[in-house]
Each structure stands twice: as structure tokens, then as C-alpha cells.
Chain A
């Protein structure tokens, strides 16, 4: 659920819809390994700043940006940051 600030700080659960647009599946239950600090957490647990055009997904442990999802007209684009590995537990 998202509060209604211009960009609100939520978690990876709220990015499930945008990520669905990229992958065609739910990926929030996958584990993302941060290349910055090595933390391994479910993507649902990541810190997410979200607004109408983008979701910035950060490592909850070290705050580095794992990746960013951008709305681009009707399309959507995922820009990889320090995300190092994705693991299906």
C-alpha cells in the first residue's frame, strides 16, 4: 500500500505491480543479494521509493540502490544498480 506523497517510502511489496510489468510474474518473493554489502533479503523487504513514474529499490541493510524501475510511456524499464544475484529460495 502506498501513501500519497509525491514519492513515498514503502517496501518491495508495493513494487510488485511495476515488477510484474517487467517480468510477467511476481518476483517479490525472490531473494536479492546486494553487491554493496552482501545482504540477502526478499525483494519484498527492500526499501522502495515509488511514484507514478519510477520505483527506486534499495538494500534495507546498506541503502545502496539495487535497481530502479522506470515507466517509459506504455513501456517499463529496469535499470540494474548494485543487485548482484537473484535467488529463488
Chain B
């Protein structure tokens, strides 16, 4: 049922992804499909009628009526603790979308693609990795994924699998704690890290950066400082410093 753009959605699966994040699969009858990188607004209604709306990126793309969100808990949040801790398969909520026509990837372009995620900013980029893999375009794609520690990486296993031989190239950045045997740098992603792992400015990639506001600002500024055209750097920020 669709009322004012809101569609009923039923939780069909809830999978713990990290100690603070869950992947939710929602069945949305009549879902028109979505491009990789788009998001939905999710609306919860309490018994007393109080409603809360939040935006969540989709980790899924395509025409299936089951869509996927990955939600990281915001301490003291109003919506995410419910979605991460409490919601169960069979529960109902509402979604509006697909939303967003800017931070999307569609097949057909020739440009190299650089994806840069901070924390749960991986979600729309996961949809893009899945889409480029299915489109046979993964060889032109690199992903740089910054996480505090290995256990904080949403989609770790799938990313390791999809970015194996012939797939997109994956570089991890650990900001606080690296896995045993890690020989790379640990700490905030900086210009050296971007230079080492990202497509160079002269190859004119399209770059997608998603993460907390501070992360995105820092990375976007560093990319422009390295010579990337601001017009080819697409950004999506969520709350936080």
C-alpha cells in the first residue's frame, strides 16, 4: 500500500553485521527498483502516533522487491537503536523511495570509479560494488574503506569475496586497530593513503565519498588538493562532527 509516497515494508531478515550494526532486508510490495547508491526514508510510527523519519542508504540495487539496509547504531538515537537491537522479522515499517539522483552509479560510463567509504558510509558503495560486479565493470573500480577496526567493517566477507581475482580492488584503512600481521599504516586516512590506493587524478576517475560529515570533508578536500577535479568528486554525508 502506498500513501503519500510511503510504502509498507516488512522486515524479512535481520543479520548482525558488526557489534553495532545490523543488515535488514525488507520486503516492499510494489517496489519500483532502485539504482546503486540511492536511499530511502524510513518512517516508524509509535503506538501513540508519534512518527520519526530517518534516511538510510540501500546496499541493494535493481528490481527485486526485497531491499537491504545496513544500520549502524547511533548512541542515544531515536530510530537506529530500535532497528539495530529490537526489530524482528515480521515487523512492519514504512519506506519512501527510491530517493536521490546524484550519488548514484549507472552502467554504461567509461570512466574509472573510485569509491571511498568511512564506517557505515560503505552501504551505498556496497550497492555500487555489487552493480559494477554484475555489469562486468569491476576492473575499473577501486574501493578504499576506512574503519576503526576489522570488526567494525560492515560487509567484510562479501567485499573480500567480490574484490578477489578480477573484481574491484579493495584497500582497507584502519584508523585505530589493525588486524594481526597488518603492515600498512594505521590512522586517519590522509593524502599519502589516498595517493597510494586511489586512482590518480590524471586518470580522471569519478569518485564517490560517503561517510560521516567530518570524514567526507577531509577526504574531499584532500582529493582536490591532490589534483582531482571537484566536479568529479561526489559526496554523501551523514550526521556527526
Q: How distant is the Cα of A9 from the Cα of B212 in the complex, in angstroms? A: 10
Q: Give the tally of cross-chain contacts (CB within 8 A).
A: 89
Interface size of A by CB at 8 A reads 25
Question: Would you call A4 and B74 a contact (CB within 8 A)?
Answer: yes
Asked whether A13 and B53 contact (CB < 8 A) given A3-B77, A20-B99, the answer is no
Contact of B103 among A10, A13, A17 (CB under 8 A): A13
B55 at the interface (CB under 8 A from A): yes
Question: Would you call B101 and A2 a contact (CB within 8 A)?
Answer: no
Question: Would you call A52 and B53 a contact (CB within 8 A)?
Answer: yes
Question: Would you call A13 and B39 a contact (CB within 8 A)?
Answer: yes
B76 to chain A minimum Cβ distance, whole angstroms, is: 7
Question: Would you call A1 and B101 a contact (CB within 8 A)?
Answer: no
B184 at the interface (CB under 8 A from A): no
A29 at the interface (CB under 8 A from B): yes
Residue of B nearest to A89 (CB): B231
Question: Would you call A17 and B74 a contact (CB within 8 A)?
Answer: no
Question: Would you call B54 and A16 a contact (CB within 8 A)?
Answer: no
Contact of A13 among B52, B77, B236, B239 (CB under 8 A): B236
Question: Would you call A44 and B102 a contact (CB within 8 A)?
Answer: yes
A28 at the interface (CB under 8 A from B): yes
Question: Would you call B5 and A8 a contact (CB within 8 A)?
Answer: no
Residue of A nearest to B79 (CB): A4
A38 to chain B minimum Cβ distance, whole angstroms, is: 15
20 contacts between A and B (CB under 8 A): A1-B39, A2-B238, A3-B239, A4-B54, A4-B76, A4-B78, A4-B239, A9-B239, A10-B55, A10-B213, A10-B237, A12-B102, A13-B100, A14-B238, A16-B39, A16-B55, A21-B5, A28-B101, A28-B102, A29-B101
Asked whether A29 and B102 contact (CB < 8 A) given A1-B56, A17-B53, A20-B96, the answer is yes
B164 at the interface (CB under 8 A from A): no
B108 at the interface (CB under 8 A from A): no
